[in-house]
Amino acid sequence: MRIFMKSFHLLLFHGSFIFPEFILIFGLTLLLMIDLTSDKKDRPWFYFVSSTSLVISITTLLF
């Protein structure tokens, strides 16, 4: 656990540009899981998850 936290700290705070990519990949994985487990009436979740992950990724990239 300590090694994971150290690597997370390095990704987030030492100017690495790969952390926004991880956020987008997580959002994509979440979208796939929602699509596989839901009915067709849960479409608003797609827009919410995709836009939220994109905004968080851009914010992380800028800071």
**Within-domain flag for 23:** yes
Residue 4 domain-assigned (yes or no): no
Cα–Cα distance list, 40 to 3, 12, 46 (Å): 41, 36, 11
Residue 2 lies in a domain: no
pLDDT at position 26? 92
Domain annotation covers residue 8:
no
The answer as to whether 56 is a domain residue is yes
Looking at residue 3, its pLDDT comes to 62
Cβ–Cβ under 8 Å, residues 63 and 52: no
Centroid of chain to Cα 17: 14
**Global confidence as pTM:** 0.67
If one counts the domains in the chain, the total is 1
Host domain of residue 30: 16-62
Quick check: is 54 in a domain?
A: yes
Q: Would residue 47 count as lying in a domain?
A: yes
| List of residues 6+ apart from 38 with CB closer than 8 A | 45
Query: Which residue ranges of the chain lie beneath pLDDT 70?
Result: 1-17, 41-42
Q: Specify whether the CB–CB gap between 58 and 32 falls below 8 A.
A: no
Does 9 fall in a domain?
A: no
